[in-house]
A and B are shown apart, each in its own frame.
Chain A
Amino acid sequence: MSGEERARWICELLRRAAVRAPRFVKESLIKVKEREEGHARAQIESILENLEMAEAEGVPLCQDTGLPFFFVQFGTDVSSEELGAWLSALEGGVKLATESVPLRPNAVDPLSRANSGDNLGRGMPMVDLELYPAMRGMRIQVTIKGAGSENMTALKLFSPGAKWREIELWVLERVLEAGGKPCPPTFLGLGVGGTAALSLKLAERALLRAPSRNEDASIALLEEELFELVNELGVGPMGLGGNTTVLGTFVEVANTHTATLPVALKFCCWAYRRASLRVSGEEAWLEDM
């Protein structure tokens, strides 16, 4: 496959993410609509109607097309040349997608705030690489997430003796504080343990796992408990009140130093946009999710 073809695949991956919400997002919205009435129900109805319109017109469902974040998983059968070729195609793919989807040019210099115009520039696009020994070929996932929910990210270094209950109440406080700002109903990713930086990464990975529950049954139970409690708060769709404040809660855990307990919370708006490209040798295809 040529570099140009790879860049075109990346462009199509970004188009899929921007235009069509994953099936689980749509399904959970349809489900919660039945539990709502009044304004809350009207918000969900607007959201579902908007999803249809975006798909029919082939245009981004939300004007905030975020910053592309690529999660690349690869098996041991992937050569470093092949991996390198795909990584070098990411930039071209983002540039192409910015023009042709189009994506909103969002990447700015953090200090001068000058916009690069093509979603590229220093540190862009963001890439997370992980070797999956059991995997054959590669999976390139991308998320594009608006800043409204990213701005609600929270990190706390708890005392090492803190119990789950304390963490849970901290999450509830953050959700109340965030109110309508992150475009609820949201998805929550909670990273517990590691270092400060790792806890944020865990929170990111927890979100990426949606809609699956944690494989560890005891943590899956905590995810469900958190889900019920957050929805008890009644923040509701768009913060206007209602039964649905979150569509999903995901928790990832790693061991931590005996003297600390980092916890990170990441919000993702209802418009959880993620798409996945599978690569096997010369073949590539977009995965349904």
Chain B
Amino acid sequence: MGFALFRGEGRLPVEDLRDLKVGEVVHLDGVLYTARDKAHRRMLDFLDSGLEIPFSPSSGVMFHCGPIVLREGDSYRVLAAGPTTSARMDPFEPRVIKELGVRAIVGKGGMSSDVAKSLREVGGVYLSFTGGCAVKAARAVKEVLALLWEDLGMAEAVWVFRVEDFGPLIVSMDAHGGNIFEDVERRGRERLRAIVERGRSS
């Protein structure tokens, strides 16, 4: 179990997640836990009621994803497994990071400033995978290690994937407060102001 991130063509291993800066591109080997709204809610419910979560979130990467998986006899074949919109998990993620020890999240679209703060506190990162690129993602899944909380349904259950060379992943929120989405929005607001001004003067 566990995971490792690599940089560039030479696959240089990332020793400490704190070394990563926004804008860097990495690839991932290791364990991914898929979790969407329902799985997040249940993790926190289990935490509150002292129940044991049937997997160890800190031993892998949290992947915001609801895949399409085909059951073939006793095994599974992952057909499509792109990221889902991470912002839906905003209310749950700070506790998942701080109390369950998750250090790396893969999703799309970015997360709230509360999540960013939690990542900064623990030295974690948020990585973007291209939304909609579900077949490309599925090809990196080498094995389905487990299916947990199956009662939540195919999309909402926790799938445990072993991936190889999963990426490219863009470091979009880092452990030092760097946040691509915030930067893009700030610049967008400046441009919007310019558009408004231009309209006034014409």
Contacts and interface: CB of A to CB of B under 8 A. Distances in A.
Contact of B68 (A65, A181, A269): A65
Contacts of A234: 184, 187-188, 191
Interface in A133-186: 146-148, 151, 165, 169, 172-173, 176, 179-181, 183
B57 to A, nearest CB: 21
Interface string A11-27: 00000000000000000
A239 B180 CA distance: 8
Nearest to B168: A42
Contacts of A176: 185, 188-189, 192
B79 A236 contact: no
Interface string A265-283: 0000111000000000000
Interface in A75-108: 102-106
Interface magnitude class on chain B: 35 or more
Nearest to A103: B68
Contacts of A271: 132
B66 interface: yes
Contact of B87 (A53, A63, A113, A181): A181
Interface in B24-81: 25, 38, 65-68, 70, 79-81
Interface string A236-256: 111111000000000000000
A169 B138 CA distance: 39
Interface string B148-168: 000001110000000000001
B110 A180 contact: yes
Contacts, number: 158
A240 B171 CA distance: 10
A60 B131 contact: no
Contacts of A43: 130
B1 interface: no
Interface of A: 39, 42-43, 46-47, 49-50, 53-54, 57, 59-65, 102-106, 113, 115, 117, 146-148, 151, 165, 169, 172-173, 176, 179-181, 183, 229, 232-241, 269-271
Interface of B: 23, 25, 38, 65-68, 70, 79-82, 84-85, 87, 108-110, 128, 130-136, 138-139, 153-155, 168, 170, 172, 180-181, 183-185, 187-189, 191-192, 195-196, 199
9 contacts: A46-B130, A50-B132, A53-B135, A53-B139, A61-B132, A234-B184, A240-B172, A241-B187, A270-B131
